[in-house]
Structure 1
Amino acid sequence: MWLWVLAGLLLILISTPGDVHAEVVSSQAKSAIPLWYTRAEAKYGVHWSLLAGLDVYGATTKPPAGVTRPQGVPMFISGYRFSQHEWQGLFNPVENDLNAKRIRLFDGRGVDGDQDGKADQNNPYDRVSAIAAWLRQGGPTEQDQSNELWKQFENGTSVERILALSHVFKYFGTTQLNERMFPVHKRYSYSYRDTWGEGRNFGGRRIHEGTDIFASYGTPVLSTCYGYIELIGWNRLGGWRIGLRAADNTYFYYAHLSAYARGIRQGVIVRPGQVLGYVGSSGYGKPGTSGKFPPHLHFGIYKDTGTREWAFDPYPLLKQWERKPQTVINPPKKEANIQPKRPVT
């Protein structure tokens, strides 16, 4: 039973190429894609990146009623899971049935993905093959398969995030996108302390959900992860802000910017160290308000439960990332930095 788990873990630990362009998957990158995804893609015609995106979302959000998830295993093994009734068939009389033929007889989702005679949801080959078979029922295109996701989740935000995460995996050609980087250029002067939970009054009494990193106007602000720009534009409290969702479904919030780097817009895929914008003092008012406080980056981290997002203290992680090497990816010099002329929602 553990042989396929160990084999999958070895594949997950293989290194990732440093520069993979959109839609191009090198042979080295392919070795970093767990085999259960590529085998399911070959058999069912569902792109491995969509399967990986669904697994990340399933593993990082609260499971629906009737779904149990193993603890302490990597997200690409835990992944998205069916309820036991969905897996074995609603009227199947055998509790926790693993018999692939009987499961098929009772119209269950379970599939024997590795041809061992069992349909075991704790086996990633079986689980991912079952997901691919289900999505393929909708049709051969990504739109067809996203329609199946809509039917299952009945939540537009969930489906949009699954598809966006899949596009990140597809762009970089690997599931190994775990790198983190300090969000302010370390060659500039900056300072910060743990300000989590401190009181704030503007906009009503509330607590501070993040860490303030003080730096001079124009200090480059960097992507801390592989991911995509989920939100960008004006926020009454945060001013010119960016919402960045990482490949592991963690949400990073950058606030009080003075400007965005050229080319940074909603939906853009980014990597660690890429310049997103520049430190400022925007916010606490209508669009364009600035200077109500010293320039700094407000940096927040949020976890998605599937129904809401909750913040946690970024300070301990910032101290870890600060000690790591930092490679900065600057925007092209010939392209000027711009600030939106109107709010983007």
Structure 2
Amino acid sequence: MKKQLIIMLLLLLFIALPHASAAADKSAEDIYAERMSLYKKMETMTQIPWYWLAGVDAYEKGLRRARNDREEAKGVINIYYSPKEWSGPLNPNMEEDNPTAISMFDGVGLDGNENGKASLKEDADVLYTFANYLAEYGFDDNNIQLGLWEYYKRDQAINIITGHARIYRKYGTLDLDDHAFPVPLNYNYSYRSTWGDTRGWGGRRIHEGTDIFAGYRTPARATSYGVVELKGWNKYGGWRLGIRDLTNTYHYYGHLTSYEEGLEKGDIVAPGDTIGYVGSTGYGKPGTEGKFPPHLHYGMYRDNGYSEWSFDPYPSLKSWEKGERNSE
């Protein structure tokens, strides 16, 4: 009996392995195609524009990355529902996939692929459930934003998702993972890991970024696709700029001598776009400069749906620099 049980377990493992391998071996292009197909299908079913669904999904993917209370998505859709929320708070079966039973227990789960089940493990069901929720508020931008507010109860979440949706709508594709180094590689520059170093001006604090030393008016460039979220003076960072990318990451550019002409808050930028010029502004009232050598302070901040915190940008900078050199 024991021998038969071992054989059965090995057989089940052998059958399961190819499926796990196939999922892991999906190319980025295949994943983008599968996601887009789902977005477009749900747009047809609910009238919610695909780029809004893509914006929500990208935001939720960023939350999964930033939080330890959410596991990595098993499929290609990243929108998160807890089993209790999906099945119903009083449902004795947290793996319930019967739409009628889910409804009886006030769960949110719906059947999006018309197979008679509402499964939290099915991408189509998860995406349809969220799209159907938004459709209850309306199909235009303002009503979709109202629905998002009622769901997330956070202005910043609405701002980030709206930015994501605008980017996807502009470019019409999900394949927007390119990056660029913050300054052109043919300019003279130097940098090392300085995140976490102590700073004394303005009170004891840590350095929340990497300093890239370069000459005055060296172009500062967008490192990713994103939306200009902030522009103006800060007594620490001088003339600074903030860009939010599609992973919810906020990119901070400090000590600029000036901005690229015509660049405004709300503008969409692409990797390599010039957004300003290296300087030595900051550590004082508006216009203060020259208190330190010219350099670009580059910081990265992660959003978890509640707050933001800085993390070391140095590994990303080295990766982008290497990738750009290899593509020359």
TM-score (norm 2): 0.86
The residue number in structure 1 matching 2:53 is 51
Name the amino acid aligned to 1:69.
R
Cα distance between partner residues in 2 of 1:70 and 1:206: 33
Matches within 5 A, 1:47-86: 47-61=49-63, 69-71=70-72, 76-77=76-77, 79-86=78-85
Give structure 1 stretches of 5+ with no counterpart. 16-29, 328-345
Please give the root-mean-square deviation of Cα atoms over the aligned residues, in Å.
Answer: 2.9
The residue number in structure 1 matching 2:107 is 108
Name the amino acid aligned to 1:236.
K
Retained in 2: the 8 A contact 1:11–1:31? no
Q: CA deviation at 1:8?
A: 11
Cα distance between partner residues in 1 of 2:71 and 2:64: 13
Retained in 1: the 8 A contact 2:84–2:94? no
The residue number in structure 2 matching 1:339 is none
Retained in 2: the 8 A contact 1:12–1:34? no
Retained in 1: the 8 A contact 2:255–2:282? yes
Indicate which of 29, 32, 37 corresponds to 1:13. 29
Q: CA deviation at 1:144?
A: 1.3
Moved runs in structure 1, 4+ residues, more than 4 A?
Answer: 5-12, 30-33
Give structure 2 stretches of 5+ with no counterpart. 1-15
Retained in 2: the 8 A contact 1:32–1:176? no
Instruction: Provide the secondary structure at the position in 2 that maps to 1:316.
Output: helix
The residue number in structure 2 matching 1:169 is 168
Q: CA deviation at 1:33?
A: 4.9
Retained in 2: the 8 A contact 1:180–1:224? yes
1:229 to 2:231 alignment:
no
Worse-superposed segment, 113-122 or 43-52: 113-122
The residue number in structure 1 matching 2:5 is none
Q: CA deviation at 1:206?
A: 0.9
Cα distance between partner residues in 1 of 2:252 and 2:33: 32
Number of aligned residue pairs: give it: 309
Cα distance between partner residues in 2 of 1:62 and 1:286: 39
Name the amino acid aligned to 1:99.
N
Larger Rg: 2
Cα distance between partner residues in 2 of 1:11 and 1:213: 34
Name the amino acid aligned to 2:133.
W
Q: CA deviation at 1:326?
A: 6.8
- C-alpha change, 1:115 and 1:8, in structure 2 (3 Å) is farther
1:186 to 2:202 alignment:
no
Q: For 1:303-329, what per-residue CA distance to the aligned partner results, in whole angstroms no more than 9, with x for missing partners?
A: 1111211111111221121122379xx
Q: CA deviation at 1:31?
A: 4.6
1:294 to 2:293 alignment:
yes
Name the amino acid aligned to 2:243.
L
Instruction: Provide the secondary structure at the position in 1 that maps to 2:324.
Output: coil
The residue number in structure 1 matching 2:146 is 147
Cα distance between partner residues in 2 of 1:235 and 1:161: 22
The residue number in structure 2 matching 1:94 is 93
Cα distance between partner residues in 1 of 2:254 and 2:137: 40
The residue number in structure 1 matching 2:280 is 281
